[in-house]
Amino acid sequence: MTWVVPASLRKDRGGARPFARVLVANRGEIAVRILRACRELAIETVAVYSDADADAAHVQMADRAVRLGPAPATESYLRADAIVAAALQTGAQAIHPGYGFLAERASFARATEDAGLVFIGPSSATIATLGDKVAARRSAAGAGVPILPGTLEPFDVDAPAAVEAIRVAAEQIGYPLLVKAAAGGGGRGMRRVEQPKELAAALAAGAAEARAAFGDGAVYIEREIHPARHIEVQLLGDGAGTIVALGERDCSLQRRHQKLVEEAPAPLLGEEQRLGLHEMAVRAARAVGLVNAATAEFLFDRDRRFWFLEINTRLQVEHGVTELVAGVDIVREQLWLAAGYPLADRVIAAAERASRPTRHAIEVRLSAEDPAREFAPTPGTIDRWELPSGPGIRVDTAAGPGTTVVADYDPLIAKLMVVDETRDAAIDRLSRALDETTITGIQTTLPFHRFIATDARFRAADLSIDWVDGTWAAIGHERRRAALVVAGEVAAAVVGRDLALDPPRATSAQSARPSARPEATGEGVPARRPRGSAIEPGPSAWSRVGRTAAVDRWPR
Amino acid sequence: MTSRLLVAPTPSSVLPGDAAVEFDLDGPARAEIEPAGPGTVIVRARPTDDPAANPLGAAPIRGVFAPPRRSAGRVVTVEVVVDGWRFELVVEDAARARLRRRATRVPDATGASGPTEIRAIIPGRVAAIHVVAGDVVEAGQSLLVVEAMKMQNELRTSHPGTVERVVVGEGETIDNGDLLVVLR
């Protein structure tokens, strides 16, 4: 499909646009998100797709689309050569990698640069430095940013001398500790070690997993912080060396290192603490000469200290909550920065306000995963798809009714974000938004989010990164079982006496049992409360009686 | 006319511990169910002293359902979503269900169980198989690994036994409900 690209009438930047044509090397909601930013800047767009995505939303939305290959990512979205060729062939000037796939491959950034195109993100040299997690730790430590106690050199566990050296280092660091892959994150290659006797096995297992995932079995060890919150800082940098922090996000609700809920700002931090955190993140970024967008990740311990984890050299999934609070479109700024423009004054002003946030945003990741089965993937075809709208709601998605969620890619189907003046108000808004959400055809993570939105511990910001793994299974089991009882009632009522010999019309479902309902006269509806009377919490009898009356009065 | 219905999750939707529930259409109602738009109902639990009868609390809750599908033998399957949880439920006449179960059960005076069929609970690709026919497996032992959505999902057996048959091969693409392994 080709849309007519309007000439930009913008008055900022003298009506200029950063690029004439950009290729988006991704799929799903993030491809759509980036295409939208391009359209707003009157940039022509090129999408790429696999055979599984020939009719996908990002293909429909782009001005042109280039097929990469069959569904498996290794034959499509991970083919750096095919993507660079597609950009050259379609006359794109720049490539936006999104997140995942090739976004943090230094080799892809370098291939883009070598082809004379602009890689929309940090330089290939920065990506290479920060992709080596041990080098990133050394660099942060050199900049005076506190890093977790651990080793600063990667170990090759096949060398007996190295294993002995790790054992000595582990004694100094103290147990429990974590074995981590030097070449990458995402929890792959990570092993928890509680006692010295477990160390050798954990090193071997971690190295094997790291080799399988990253082609490099080098590992390092780090003290485990427990309990801890995950807090990260959004960074933007320009070619002139100006780097700013746009605010922080709390992403403590994770399961096995996959984030489920993110919010901005991080709750329970004071202005001084925010300033200190933002300043540390900027220092760590300056040490590696960061340009464009990146995120510095920290752990926050019980003694309210921050520990540097790593810097991700890409647009994060959860960038939207920062946009809602800071009032800055991060993808748009990425495009300007990639074209060589300096950070705009209003972005610098937003960064200066970031330690005194006046809004609160929360994102939940709706994924095709079953929260009752350890979040196992649930690919399939979406049937009903009703997502919330109204004040303070943002939904980023590439899915809709009839969309097939395939097993080849990430299970994220929509990011639901809410923003309000305070955290309490944002949670109430989230709860309302989730009530408006209906998805059928596949199981999603909606039950988990519905629980979180009403949970007292979440409301109290009593968060830690291992909370979901330790607590959710039992809660989820109970809640699912309760829902099954209600679902059984619904099924019996819908199918009814005749066992659907005559399939019931969806609108005429009746309870299978006679039920004593009030007459549809409005009698029994309590009169309006006198002024000044206390309002009791919870739903009043009015909602019950009034609703029944309305249902009976209105045509079906 | 049917007055007693049996409702149970389908094999692709069932989890350990799920029970079939019998409903007496002529008996006292446990909940009020009101239509609230196409494929949508509001469920209100009736006031009761028994908290088990009111598992989601006193507040009304929305349920959504897809048009029921009728298959052979007066069995109806309906998809229902409550609190975000999705169930595929089989509804049938309770008396018929009992008869059918009796007819299909392998008669066995000793009470020993027959072969256990282990089926796929997610679609994907079989990445690795850890057992062969004749292997003795313990509860919790890994049988095979299914790769889906860039994750490796290990399939473990919930009870001990001997592998009678491995039905799938490595690299094979499988669908929800496909037979994978037979244990005895």
Q: Is the pLDDT reported for residue B18 higher than 50?
A: yes
pLDDT of B109: 36
Please give the structure tokens belonging to residue A385: 């798809």
- Pick the last residue of a domain from B57, B72, B104: B104
Q: Are A248 and A278 in contact (CB under 8 A)?
A: yes
Residue with tokens 């660099």: A139
| Residue A431 within any structural domain of the chain | yes
pLDDT of residue A7: 54
Q: What tokens were used for A273?
A: 């603490």
What's the CATH code of the domain at A52? Answer: 3.40.50.20
Residue B110 maps to a domain: no
Nearest to B91 among A73, A491, A515 (CB): A491
Domain holding A215: CATH number?
3.30.1490.20
ipTM of the complex: 0.87
**Residue B77 shares a structural domain with residue B153:** no
Residues of chain A with Cβ-Cβ distance to B7 below 8 Å are 488, 491-492
Q: Is B30 within 8 Å of A504 when comparing Cβ atoms? A: no
Q: Indicate which CATH number applies to the domain containing A385.
A: 3.30.470.20
Which residue from A379, A383, A480 is facing B85, i.e. has the nearest CB? A480
Residues B62 and B131 in one domain: no
Give the contacts of A16 (CB within 8 A, at least 6 positions apart).
none
Nearest CA of chain A to the CA of B116: how many Å? 20
- Residue span of the structural domain in which B144 resides: 116-183
Distance of alpha carbon A124 from alpha carbon A114, whole angstroms = 10
Q: Is there a single domain that holds both residue A389 and residue A266?
A: yes
If asked whether residues B158 and B79 sit together in one domain, one would say: no
What SS3 state is found at A507? helix
State which of B70, B104, B138 marks the end of a domain: B104
Q: Are residues B86 and B41 in the same domain?
A: yes
In a domain, B51, yes or no: yes
- Pairing status of strand A44-50 against strand A64-69: parallel
A4 reaches B (C-beta below 8 A) = no
Would the CB atoms of A494 and B23 count as touching at under 8 Å? Answer: no
Residues of A (326-385) whose Cβ lies below 8 Å from B: 368, 372-373, 376-380, 383-384
Statement to judge: residues A114 and A171 lie in one domain: no
Question: Do residues B64 and B25 both lie within one domain?
Answer: yes
Q: Say if A529 falls within a structural domain.
A: yes
User: Do A99 and A207 share a domain, yes or no?
Assistant: no
CA dist A270 → A213, A237, A261, A304 (Å): 39, 25, 22, 11
Instruction: Assess if residue A125 is contained within a domain.
Output: no
Which CATH number do you get for residue B157?
Answer: 2.40.50.100
What does each C-alpha distance from A303 to A60, A229, A350, A509, A522 come to in angstroms? 50, 11, 29, 56, 58
Is the Cβ pair B85, A441 closer than 8 Å? no
Check whether residue B98 and residue B169 sit in a common domain. no
Distance (Å, whole) CA B83 – CA B63: 8
A409 & A473 share domain: yes
Higher pLDDT, A88 or B132: A88
Residue A526 has a pLDDT of 43
Domain-ending residue, one of A69, A102, A120: A120
Give residue A534's domain range.
Answer: 516-556
Is B13 a member of any domain? Answer: yes
SS3 content of chain B, % helix, strand, coil (to 5): 10, 45, 45
| Alpha helix (H) residue ranges in chain B | 94-104
What residues of B are in contact with residue A477 (Cβ under 8 Å)?
17
pLDDT score, position B52: 58
Closest CA to B82 of B62, B111, B110: B62
Interface contact flag, A378 B122, Cβ < 8 Å: yes
- Could you state, in chain order, the average pLDDT of each consecutive group of 10 residues for chain A (556 residues)? 52 80 98 97 97 97 97 96 98 97 96 98 96 94 95 82 86 92 81 91 88 85 93 97 98 92 97 98 97 98 96 97 98 98 97 98 97 94 98 98 94 98 98 97 98 96 93 93 91 75 41 38 43 60 56 44
Task: Report if residue B109 sits inside a domain.
Answer: no
CB contacts of B39 in chain A (<8 Å) are 384, 506-507
Q: Are A321 and A362 a contacting pair, CB within 8 Å? A: yes
Taking only the tens place, the pLDDT of each residue in B19-74 is 888 888 888 777 788 888 889 999 887 766 665 555 566 678 899 999 998 876 67
Question: Which chain B residue has the Cα nearest residue A488?
Answer: B7
Choose the closest CB to A492 out of B5, B62, B87.
Answer: B5
Token pair belonging to B136 = 């003795």
> What's the number of domains chain B is made of?
2
With contacts defined as CB-CB under 8 Å, which chain A residues touch B26? 513
- B125 and A407: CB-CB below 8 Å? yes
The answer on A238 and A204 residing in a single domain is no
Q: Is A189 on the interface with B (CB under 8 A)?
A: no
Tell me whether residue B57 is in a domain: yes
State what percent of residues in chain B have pLDDT above 90.
16
Whether residue B132 is found in the same domain as residue B86: no
Residue A343 tokens, joined:
């950070």
Q: Do A487 and B85 touch (CB under 8 A)?
A: yes
Number of domains making up chain A: 4
**B67, closest residue in chain A (CA to CA):** A506
CB contact under 8 A, A503 and B67: yes
Could you give the CA distance from residue A16 to residue A81 in angstroms, rounded to a whole number? 31
Do B100 and B15 reside in the same domain of the chain?
A: yes
List the end-to-end C-alpha distance of chain A, in Å, as a whole number. Answer: 39
Residue A65 and residue A59 in contact, taking contact as beta carbons nearer than 8 Å: yes
Same domain for A242 and A332?
A: yes
Establish if B145 belongs to a structural domain. Answer: yes
CB–CB of B85 and A376 under 8 A? no
**Res A517: pLDDT:** 38
Whether the Cβ atoms of residue B145 and residue B127 lie closer than 8 Å to each other: yes
Q: What pLDDT is attached to residue A161? A: 82
| Residue A353, CA atoms < 13 Å, CB-side half-sphere | 14
Give the nearest chain B residue to A256 (CA atoms): B151
Q: With an 8 Å Cβ cutoff, are B32 and A509 in contact? A: no
Q: Are both A427 and A556 inside the same structural domain?
A: no
Say if residue A188 is in the same domain as residue A325.
no
- Do the domain assignments include residue A252? yes
> Among A294, A111, A82, which residue's Cα sits nearest to residue A119?
A111
Pair B34, B95 in one domain: yes
CB distance A377–B39 less than 8 Å? no
pLDDT computed for residue A507 by the predictor: 39
